[in-house]
């Protein structure tokens, strides 16, 4: 679907102008989104920078004022902040407004979206992209281009609301994928939240060894493996806690793999070690072509 094909292109209010929200604003403007693009941020300097950079048409520091006239409201704040904001959005958004979130976990958020007033049109969402850099200054109009953008319609989501969400995804150059919230959370815990937890453990393990030489010698292998440990702490804390059980399940699965590697090394079982290394190499190889 091309976004020009929907009956009207709504005014969009983006709540949160960090990396994700700022990039969305820039991408919509670059795509020629015909509705107004406004934003809500607690930081007046961020709003001023977004307005002067033509990322938004108008900025608000007050959530109620910002969402009042929008035809589509996109929540681009950390998960627990988003959950706190939803009731206020519900009180002040106009009837018929589409409410789309971009939170990294979906089950808890979609349950909260379902509690919005019946006049509103909720759709869960999660763009599968990001950077370690945070803030509007890191925003990039091409952040979403070519990336998967998960949509989680609720039982109450109308066909028109889902079309509007698809239109926004299409406008920023992403590929929509409709998923059940629980299936999303299980899969994303494996390929996003677990790697973050492991990167944190890796950095902390090396730091605890208190060996300055390790940091002096750290090169591409360590930097690539530990890269996501540099992610925004508040955002990732919300992600881990809101998807706690899935992350714990994957941590246990990973611990079993570590134990198996440890046993092979301890026993100098070259055949077992080779099997594990070769299996990982074979399974990882297709990703190199992506």
CATH number at residue 206: 1.10.3660.10
In a shared domain, residues 173 and 199:
no
Token pair 């591409």 in the structure block, residue: 220
In a shared domain, residues 163 and 190:
no
In a shared domain, residues 157 and 276:
no
Residue 138 in any domain: the answer is yes
Residue 143 in any domain: the answer is yes
d(CA 138, CA 62): 23
77 in Cβ contact with 85 (< 8 Å): yes
* DSSP assignment of 242-258: HTHHHHHHHHHHHHHHH
In a shared domain, residues 75 and 202:
no
In a shared domain, residues 159 and 255:
no
Residue 57 in any domain: the answer is yes
The residue-averaged pLDDT of 260-285 equals 96
Confidence of residue 5 (pLDDT cuts 50, 70, 90): very low
In a shared domain, residues 175 and 275:
no
Bridge partners, residue 178, by sequence? 151
Residue 10's pLDDT is 87
Q: Which of 179, 208, 231 represents a domain boundary (last residue)?
A: 179
In 3D space, the residue among 94, 86, 91, 93 whose CA is nearest the CA of residue 114 turns out to be 86
Residue 240 in any domain: the answer is yes
* Three-class DSSP category at 163: helix
**Tokens linked to 29:** 């403007």
In a shared domain, residues 27 and 111:
yes
Q: Which of 179, 212, 229 represents a domain boundary (last residue)?
A: 179
pLDDT tens readout for residues 159-202: 999 999 999 999 999 999 999 999 999 999 999 999 999 999 99
Which residues constitute the domain of residue 264? Answer: 184-285
State pTM to two decimals.
Answer: 0.89
d(CA 257, CA 59): 49
Confidence of residue 132 (pLDDT cuts 50, 70, 90): confident
d(CA 111, CA 282): 39
Residue 150's φ and ψ, nearest 5 degrees, are -75, 135
In a shared domain, residues 173 and 205:
no
Total tally of structural domains belonging to the chain: 2
In a shared domain, residues 33 and 148:
yes
**Tokens linked to 263:** 């046993």
Q: Which of 116, 151, 179 represents a domain boundary (last residue)?
A: 179
Confidence of residue 8 (pLDDT cuts 50, 70, 90): low
Residue 290's pLDDT is 57
Residue 290 in any domain: the answer is no
In a shared domain, residues 202 and 227:
yes
Residue 1 in any domain: the answer is no
Residue 134's pLDDT is 81
Residue 80 in any domain: the answer is yes
Q: For residue 85, give the CATH number of its domain.
A: 3.40.50.720
Residue 7's pLDDT is 47
pLDDT tens readout for residues 233-250: 988 999 999 999 999 999
In a shared domain, residues 62 and 206:
no
In a shared domain, residues 82 and 201:
no
Bridge partners, residue 15, by sequence? 40, 75
* Cα–chain center distance at 165: 16
Q: For 96-130, give one letter per residue: b (16+ CB within 10 A) or e.
A: ebbbbbbbbbbbbbbebbeebeeebbbbbbbbbbb
């Amino acid at each position: 679907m091309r976004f020009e094909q929907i009956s009207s292109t709504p005014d969009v209010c983006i709540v949160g102008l960090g990396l994700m929200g700022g990039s969305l604003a820039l991408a919509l403007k670059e795509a020629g989104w015909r509705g107004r693009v406004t934003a809500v941020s607690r930081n007046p300097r961020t709003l001023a920078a977004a307005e002067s950079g033509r990322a938004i048409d108008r900025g608000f520091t007050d959530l109620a004022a910002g969402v009042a006239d929008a035809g589509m409201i996109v929540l681009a704040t950390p998960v627990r902040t988003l959950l706190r904001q939803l009731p206020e959005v519900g009180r002040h958004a106009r009837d018929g407004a589409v409410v789309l979130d971009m939170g990294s976990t979906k089950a808890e958020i979609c349950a909260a979206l379902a509690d919005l007033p019946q006049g509103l049109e909720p759709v869960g969402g999660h763009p599968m992209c990001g950077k370690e850099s945070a803030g509007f200054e890191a925003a990039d109009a091409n952040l979403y281009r070519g990336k998967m953008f998960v949509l989680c319609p609720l039982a109450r989501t109308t066909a028109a609301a889902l079309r509007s969400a698809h239109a926004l995804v299409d406008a920023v150059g992403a590929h929509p994928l409709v998923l059940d919230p629980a299936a999303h959370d299980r899969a994303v815990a494996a390929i996003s939240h677990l790697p973050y937890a492991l990167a944190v453990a890796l950095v902390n393990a090396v730091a605890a060894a208190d060996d300055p030489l390790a940091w002096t010698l750290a090169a591409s292998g360590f930097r690539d493996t530990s890269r996501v440990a540099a992610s925004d702490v508040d955002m990732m804390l919300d992600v881990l806690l809101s998807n706690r059980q899935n992350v714990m399940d994957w941590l246990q699965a990973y611990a079993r793999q570590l134990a198996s590697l440890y046993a092979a090394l301890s026993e100098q079982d070259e055949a077992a070690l080779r099997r594990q290394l070769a299996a990982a190499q074979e399974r990882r190889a297709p990703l190199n072509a992506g």
